[in-house]
Structure 1
Amino acid sequence: MLYRLLADAVMLAHFGFLVFLAVGGFLAWRWPRVLVAHAAAVVWGALSVFVGLACPLTGWENRLRRLSGEQGLPAGFVDTYLTGVIYPQEHVLAAQLLVAGLVAASWLGLAVRHGTRPHGVNR
């Protein structure tokens, strides 16, 4: 029971990471220091997509699910919980481009929001 709860907690953390990856740049509009963590998340996400870097959260969830007597994830986290559930398999590229667009829009908005402010003016 404990291992299953821990596996579920890792799964929720993984979802949280993916949400942060997609929209964390918008949080930086209010809290600019978030941008460093968001940039790290974007780099990790890009490496995962382009290089196939395995996410440790997936490994942890798999291990915890097996310790709880379950089989573990049939595929990676995204393939198990998102592809075919949130969006169809044939739209993987569209989903990736949507996330990239959200990141780009948030960073562009951050640059406009904080780059056009006159020096010495605080909000």
Structure 2
Amino acid sequence: MNSSDFYLLLADLILITHALFVVFVVVGLILILIGGACSWSWVRNPLLRLSHLFAIGFVVIQSWLGAICPLTMWENMLRKKAGGVGYQDTFISYWFEKLLYYQLPQWIFVVAYTLFGALVLVSWFWVRPRSFR
């Protein structure tokens, strides 16, 4: 494996991590709400819920500050080191890029992330987590 392939592999791993982060945040909220209605005890796990709240909180604050996601920056840096310009060459990067990155005005993302974050915060009260003891 040459260095270019290695950088592309690392970039793809970061992209997969990014996708899993998105799945954790989005599907996590859906499962928390369904789990609350179905009395699933695991959705009240305080560590899970705090991790979920922190994850979306990070995204919301980052969007308010107009910052680029660190995962996106690292991935692009690795793709450039591999000789690319970002989001080309590999199958994984092509499809995940289509699923994760949309070309819309920044304010739409700020509003969407803020509303989603507010819903996660409200879910904290709808489906109360157990205490940390």
- Would you say same fold, with TM above 0.5? yes
Equivalent residue in structure 2 for 1:66, among 80, 83, 86: 80
Cα distance, 1:14 vs structure 2: 0.8
Q: Higher helix proportion, which one?
A: 2
For normalisation by structure 1, the TM-score amounts to: 0.63
TM-score by length of 2: 0.59
Q: How does 1:1-123 map to 2 (within 5 A)?
A: 1-25=5-29, 26=32, 29-72=43-86, 81-84=100-103, 89=104, 92=108, 95-96=112-113, 99-100=116-117, 102-104=119-121, 106-111=123-128
Q: For 1:81 and 1:39, how far apart are their aligned partners in 2? A: 20
Query: Cα deviations across residues 66-109 of structure 1 (Å, max 9, x unaligned)?
Result: 12211125xxxx8993325xxxx37x457546634652453233
Identity of aligned residues (%): 31
* Larger RCO: 1 or 2 (CA < 8 Å, sep 6+): 2
Within 2, Cα distance between the matches of 1:45 and 1:107?
Answer: 17
Q: How many residues of Structure 1 are paired with residues of Structure 2 in the alignment?
A: 106
Cα-Cα RMSD: 3.4
User: Any unmatched runs of 5+ in structure 2?
Assistant: 36-41, 88-96
Structure 1 residue runs of 5 or longer lacking an equivalent are 116-123
Q: Distance in 1 between matches of 2:48 and 2:15?
A: 22
Greater alpha carbon shift after TM alignment, 1-10 vs 49-58? 49-58
Cα displacement string for residues 36-95 of structure 1 (whole angstroms, at most 9, x for unaligned residues): 21222122111122111332111110111112211125xxxx8993325xxxx37x4575
Amino acid at match of 1:61: E
Q: 1:100 to 1:43 in 2, by over 3 A?
A: closer
